Structure 1
Amino acid sequence: MSVGGTPPEGGDDRGAVRAALSGLTTRGRSFLAAGIAAAMCSYVLGQGDLLRVGLLLAALPLVCVAVVYRTRCRVAGSRRLSPARVPAGSEARVQLRVDNISRLPTGLLMLQDRVPYVLGPRPRFVLDRVEPGGRREVSYRVRSDLRGRYPLGPLQLRLTDPFGMCELTRGFSSYDLLTVVPRVEPLPAVRLAGEAAGYGDGRNRSLALAGEDDVIPRGYRHGDDLRRVHWRSTARYGELMVRREEQPQRARCTVLLDTRETAHFGSGPDSGFEWAVSGAASVAVHLLQRGYAVRLLTDTGASVPGTDGGSGFSGPVLESADTAGLLLDALAVMDHSAEPGLSPAYDLLRGGAEGLLVAFLGDLDEEQAAVVARMRQRSGGAVAFLLDNAAWAGGAGTASDPLQRRLQLLREAGWTALRVGPGTPLAALWRQAEAGAGAPTVSGMTGGWQ
């Protein structure tokens, strides 16, 4: 929740007063003009009663300006998003709260929150007078089919007096960010080629010592087996130490996303690029839930969630939920790149240490197809989802000859390569990836093996 506080006063009081006077409504200006005219007529005609009437007419809007001017810094506002991260096409609830922190009741309040056009029209609310120390709460919903990071706010209040003589609009300084992440499709649990066998879902265990001289002790933790206590280190450090005889080694997966502008056709929520972004998010979240150490790699060589000893994989200090949040936040703002090829991503891959490689690729020419084929030598297993841009552009439903040649080249290099057309469910393709090169075409799909 972000607390907006009171609307800003500004550094120049005289400027603030001029701004308050500029807030006079047509009614207020009319009263002021009538009062001045009556005062002038009383001077010309020598009528004292007319002067009193003129002073009353002119004073009323000025008093209203003073009241509204005082009210401008005695109202506090806050905003709360629930949730602050939503998938594309889902709704988020925004709750606004206005507190009267003055000793006087407010007048009529008109509340408006600024939202980007893609999230819908600007919400507006009319609030009755708020008693001293009272508060009012209103809420609205926002929804976007386009992923991204959208600012909400700042909140605006329009203050009016009971007579409608003056209206002042004041804005709060705080705003919140709504992150619209790609849709994540649930995937079935399958075993892909190249996954490590043995411990858990693709995990191995490695020894952390080779003998008594290579012991790496650590502090005792509740639940440790007392038979693993290392007495020599305990005597040396003055606290109970245990041997780290073996540690789990997490299986790794690199999710490669091709963001080259020249490799994709069209834009919008139904484009092939958005399918690839959503597919990368789905695979990353699915493998994180299975215990993998996952990183996101783009054609530019950028790696998310960062670096861990230069590898770019999430370290043990990052929980799966935190890593998933980092990946989804990065994919929420992922856009096309001007990179001409995939060589930066290839250079970042280290031979034999990457584990599973899952690539979402756009259009490939012969040179880039050869680069992708060489990536197979730097991974334990490789699955490629190759977008059929001709089909996404509204062409034929079968793979073109160039695409067939690219698929064949990747398969000969050891990739499990699958064609992706519009309307292709990722879950079905994920099952095909388990079967490898001999997977049959899924009935009723506009994609898959051809």
Structure 2
Amino acid sequence: MGLRPTSRGIGLLLGGAGLVMLGVALGTVDVVRMGTLAVLAVLAPTAVLAALDPGRGRHRLTVSRTTTPNPVHVGDRADVQVLISAADPAARVRLAGLRFAEQAATDLSGGLPLRARVRRSPQQVTVSYTVQAGRRGRWPLGPLVVTRTDPFGVARSSATLGASAEVEVWPLVVPLPAPSSVLVGEPERVALGARTPSTDDASLREYHEGDDLRRVHWRSSARRGSLMVRSDERAGMRPVSVLLDLPSRTEHLEWTISLAASMALAMLEGGHPVRLVGGTRPQDAPGIGDATSWVHPTGDRARGTLLDRTIDLEEPRSTEAATTDLLAGAHLLESTGAGDDIVLAVLGPLDPAGRAALAHLADSVQGWAVVRRPAQAHGAQQTDATVDALRRAGWRACTVTGDEDLVTCWLRLLGSVR
């Protein structure tokens, strides 16, 4: 809590101190008394304000904050409501006369003061305002700053009240057309070749990470020597991994994440299990331990779970770090693929190591890639070399620019040829 005199209070303190010194010098008791009264007129209200600290003691005020919606997409608005409540008469005394100011990250406020609506009652005060998400990430709201001035206007107190909250901002995504049959293919034919399954095995498939163990068909698993699960129309959909190659410069970072997230959602809404692979996240990011696990298209939270994994993605520290992330993602795909996986990759121009890793990956997955074409001539040459290497290895690949419409990129990918 901060206590300080107002300009009026400072004037009284200086005037009172001057009168006390003058009275002592002249030996006049009345002048000393007048100066002392002036000083006490500032110190007494200051002590009262200190005793009425709204954030401490048995009669402190309580603060609750709600944000709707939360998370929110980049560019969308969210309504914030802060409720300050007084539980007893003593707390109501502290609530009366308070002025409120809310704090918000510049990525939510645009660097401008928040325009809030305040509604008062004897028991509570409600502060309502709107924020607009300007950038993907996790951005703080609060704590609430409260100020009070004494009735004489000689002292002012300020304090923070309640805890801060967090607004999670998802990347901008656009609805993409449903994936074509050319992309999805026929999973059973790809996985089993020309072999015709027996009647007992017709509704079974190999276990994939994240499958419900209650679907395991133990008799067939024992006969085959590997876990088999009962499939249905949705469970039989081919799993899709979206491979991210994040640029080491922020210029196309958000565009890359938006395209990858939009592609992932299109496949998820088409009934496919989806996961995000690659990219850099802080070590202490929430949910970092399961960032590459499968998200199944069941339940109301599937879409949110997938988008939550994009919030903490950050640009690599260098080009070498970006290559390391890509190679780690390719290794993960190669080691966990089941032979019928689809990989959708959003890439930049790759060096020879990256091209070799993804070319080798085509032996075990069906790969589709969009490759960003930079404006620089050297980068354009690397882009062409990347697309050529991927196509020779069996990928379907196309080039895009980093500011291109996302739907256009998706349709070009679906229409690409080897």
- TM-score scaled by structure 2? 0.75
Please, what is the CA RMSD of the aligned residues?
Answer: 3.9
1:332 maps to what in 2? 311
2:301 maps to what in 1? 322
2:414 maps to what in 1? 434
1:404 to 384, 394, 398: 384
1:65 maps to what in 2? 46
2:142 to 131, 153, 156: 153
Once the two structures are aligned, what percentage of the paired residues are identical?
26
How has the CA–CA distance of structure 1 residues 314 and 356 changed in structure 2, closer, same or farther, with 3 Å as cutoff? same
2:268 to 268, 288, 293: 288
Give the secondary-structure state (helix, strand or coil) at the position aligned to 1:139.
strand
How has the CA–CA distance of structure 1 residues 373 and 300 changed in structure 2, closer, same or farther, with 3 Å as cutoff? farther
Q: Indicate whether 1:92 and 2:96 are aligned.
A: no
Question: What's the CA shift string for 1:342-366, capped at 9, x where partnerless?
Answer: 3222221235446110000011123
1:382 maps to what in 2? 367
Unaligned 5+ segments in structure 1 are 1-15, 216-243, 439-450
Q: How does 1:100-119 map to 2 (within 5 A)?
A: 100-101=86-87, 102-104=91-93, 106=95, 108-119=97-108
Say if 2:203 and 2:231, in contact at 8 Å, map to a contact too. yes
Task: Give how far 1:387 is off.
Answer: 0.3
Give the secondary-structure state (helix, strand or coil) at the position aligned to 2:301.
helix
Question: What's the CA shift string for 1:401-442, capped at 9, x where partnerless?
Answer: 54333222211221110101144222233233333407xxxx
Q: 1:149 & 1:77 partners in 2: Cα distance?
A: 21
1:83 maps to what in 2? 69
Give the secondary-structure state (helix, strand or coil) at the position aligned to 2:407.
helix
Q: 1:280 & 1:197 partners in 2: Cα distance?
A: 23
Give the count of matched residue pairs: 370
Question: What's the CA shift string for 1:37-92, capped at 9, x where partnerless?
Answer: 445655654455x5654454333222311331122224433322122212112222
Say if 2:349 and 2:382, in contact at 8 Å, map to a contact too. no
1:167 maps to what in 2? 156
Q: How does 1:14-413 map to 2 (within 5 A)?
A: 20=3, 23-38=4-19, 44-48=26-30, 50=31, 53-73=34-54, 74-101=60-87, 102-104=91-93, 106=95, 108-119=97-108, 120-121=110-111, 123=113, 132-133=122-123, 135-193=124-182, 195=184, 197=186, 205-206=203-204, 208-209=216-217, 248-259=235-246, 261=248, 266-267=249-250, 271-298=251-278, 312-314=292-294, 319=298, 321-337=300-316, 338-341=321-324, 342-349=326-333, 350=335, 351-353=337-339, 355-379=341-365, 381-390=366-375, 400-413=380-393
Q: 2:50 & 2:118 partners in 1: Cα distance?
A: 18
Say if 1:296 and 1:305, in contact at 8 Å, map to a contact too. no
Moved more, 57-66 or 154-163: 57-66
Say if 1:305 and 1:326, in contact at 8 Å, map to a contact too. no
Q: 1:383 & 1:210 partners in 2: Cα distance?
A: 35
| Structure that is richer in helix per residue | 2
